[in-house]
Amino acid sequence: MVWFTDRHYFLLAVTFYGLSMIYSVFLWRKGFRRDEWVNYILLAGGVAWHTLAMTKRGLTLHSCPVNNLYEATTFLLWALGLATLVYALMPKFKFLTAFTAPVLFTVGIFALMPSLDPPHGPKPEFSGALRSLHAATILQSYGAFALAAVAAAMFLMQQHDLKFHKIRALLSFLPSIQRLEVITTRLTTVGLVLLTIGLVAGAWLPRKDGANYFADAKVIWSALVWLVYLELLVAHRFFERSSRRFATGVVVVFVLLLLTFGITNHFSALHN
């Protein structure tokens, strides 16, 4: 129906994420010793509605829907949800749905705030394949960093349980701490590669006369994020930084990324 807009589809997606979050609490209480296919189906339903919402918005704009904070946030959530579904197809990674669902729901509620989605003009501010590549790779890198933070948090929980000889670590269906460490490292590497591609693509985008790409607040912030993740990987892989410190760093950096994303976007001349 005509009145059913992309925001209505996204609201349905957030509703499914909320149901998945509620079921995730049940899984947490049972120590992940129950079948998680119900949670997977709920999350898949949310991603399906989410995909429909983004497709409808993209067809309206004739461009990748990343023209404001609402669209950027929903794109990031979609990348996170889709990546979770792909990884959760493997039996040892079904636990991811229980940890990403609360993130998708809470950030989705934030994204629904009307002030984040002001009306567009007759056309998007700018369009083109290069801009879409820039936005998509950077937002997908955030999705990879989010999954890395989830895996790192699970690593810390497993290590804590094993350290204190808790039986939950033996009965849990979560992957081993060795596998979680590998997952965290690989996802962080993927995120860093995607962020690099996005920053390079952004440097080639057309800008207003006098606008300095490397002096923009968002670009400086992104470069700092890139450097911090690079330091985490290099120190862990080549300088024998402990796995615990590496995992803690991945979680802390992603939390800081979320807390500062909107602030740097607000002060960015190129993104406003």
Q: What is the pLDDT of residues 230-270, one digit of tens each?
A: 999 999 989 889 999 999 999 999 999 988 887 887 777 77
120 within domain boundaries: no
When pLDDT is averaged across residues 205-215 and rounded to a whole number, the result is 71
When pLDDT is averaged across residues 52-77 and rounded to a whole number, the result is 78
Backbone angles phi, psi at 64, to 5 degrees: -60, 125
Given 79, 114, 149, the domain boundary residue is: 114
Full-model pTM: 0.62
Q: Do 77 and 6 fall within a single domain? A: yes
Nearest to 202 by CA among 268, 138, 272: 138
Q: Which pLDDT tens digit goes with each residue over 11-22? A: 999 999 999 888
Q: Which domain holds residue 36?
A: 1-114
270 within domain boundaries: yes
Given 87, 114, 141, the domain boundary residue is: 114
Q: Do 167 and 65 fall within a single domain? A: no
Q: Do 184 and 219 fall within a single domain? A: yes
Give the integer Cα–Cα distance in Å for 269 and 272.
Answer: 5
Q: Do 132 and 251 fall within a single domain? A: yes
pLDDT at 122 over 60: no
Backbone angles phi, psi at 140, to 5 degrees: -70, -30
What is the count of structural domains for the chain?
2
Distances (CA, A) of 231 to 33, 147, 247, 253: 37, 19, 13, 11
Q: 3-class SS at 227?
A: helix
Q: Would you say 254 and 146 are in contact if contact means Cβ atoms under 8 Å apart? A: yes
